[in-house]
């Protein structure tokens, strides 16, 4: 009886650690593909970044350069591309963090030299 209970607990843990998160990710991806609209910046599973120009039943037209459009399956879209503003904000915060770390390292060196 105890071994049967352990087996049930192992399957429960497997479900909550592996299967359930995968199902949630797949549901979110399906909702993203369903909600595509012209003007959305997206990334495909091939790594192609583009702007949705037109959406048909099973096809999405991506504009990857001026006057260059690719016809792709809707299922090939894996996510929305981060905007240029978000990338700039991330770069600014990374630069601020690096500057703070450099100042901390300089203080540590000064403290070590004073102690010697």
pLDDT single digits (tens) 39-90: 999 999 999 999 999 999 899 999 999 999 999 999 999 999 886 555 555 5
Q: Following CA atoms 80, 83, 88, 92 in sequence, which dihedral angle do they give, to the nearest 10 degrees?
A: -50
pTM of the model: 0.58
Query: How confident is residue 93, by pLDDT bands cut at 50, 70 and 90?
Result: low
User: Exposure of 44 by Cβ count < 10 A (0-12 exposed, 13-18 middle, 19+ buried)?
Assistant: buried
CB 12 within 8 A of CB 20: no
pLDDT at 44: 93
Task: Tokens for 90, please give them.
Answer: 């991330």
**pLDDT exceeds cutoff 80 at 109:** no
């Amino acid at each position: 009886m105890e071994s049967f209970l352990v087996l049930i607990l192992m399957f429960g843990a497997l479900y909550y650690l592996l299967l359930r998160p995968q199902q949630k990710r797949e549901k979110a991806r399906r909702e993203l593909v369903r909600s595509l609209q012209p003007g959305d910046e997206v990334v495909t599973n091939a790594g192609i970044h583009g702007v949705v120009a037109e959406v048909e039943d099973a096809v999405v037209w991506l504009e990857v350069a001026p006057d260059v459009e690719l016809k792709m399956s809707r299922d090939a879209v894996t996510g929305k591309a981060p905007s240029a503003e978000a990338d700039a904000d991330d770069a600014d915060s990374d630069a601020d963090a690096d500057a703070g770390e450099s100042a901390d390292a300089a203080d540590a060196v000064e403290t070590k030299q004073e102690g010697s």
